């Protein structure tokens, strides 16, 4: 029985790196477009400030997406790196 995780309202098998990649990429796109942005307004008699912040850690999300992409390509039998050879000719 697969272990399911709910990401963004969708149940995803946590053992399938390709499905996890697709779900987390959708979360990243939503964070980049500003859907997960919170606003805070601070008012005083003289000034008014509005703060916007996002709860998503984009660097950690990118690192996890890279790891999942490598795991997905390994699962599908694709190599992620190829060795190149060079030869100098005179």
What tens digit of pLDDT does each residue of 29-50 get?
A: 888 877 766 777 887 778 888 8
Per the structure, the complete domain to which residue 63 belongs is given by: 4-75
Rounded to a whole number of angstroms, the CA Rg of the chain reads 21
CA atoms within 13 A on the CB side of 61: 15
Residue 85 lies in a domain: no
Question: Is 77 strand, coil or helix?
Answer: coil
Residue 84 lies in a domain: no
Query: Mean pLDDT score of the chain, rounded to an integer?
Result: 81
Structural domain tally of the chain? 1
Dump strand ranges (E) for the chain: 4-7, 10-13, 37-43, 48-54
Residue 89 lies in a domain: no
What tens digit of pLDDT does each residue of 77-88 get?
A: 876 566 666 777
């Amino acid at each position: 029985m697969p272990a399911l995780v709910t990401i963004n309202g969708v149940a995803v098998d946590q053992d399938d790196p390709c499905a996890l990649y697709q779900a987390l990429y959708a979360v990243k796109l939503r964070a980049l477009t500003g859907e997960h942005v919170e606003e805070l307004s601070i008012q005083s008699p003289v000034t008014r400030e509005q703060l916007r912040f996002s709860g998503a850690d984009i660097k950690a999300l990118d690192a996890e997406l890279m790891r999942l992409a490598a795991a997905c390509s390994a699962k599908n039998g694709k190599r992620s790196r190829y060795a190149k050879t060079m030869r100098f000719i005179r």
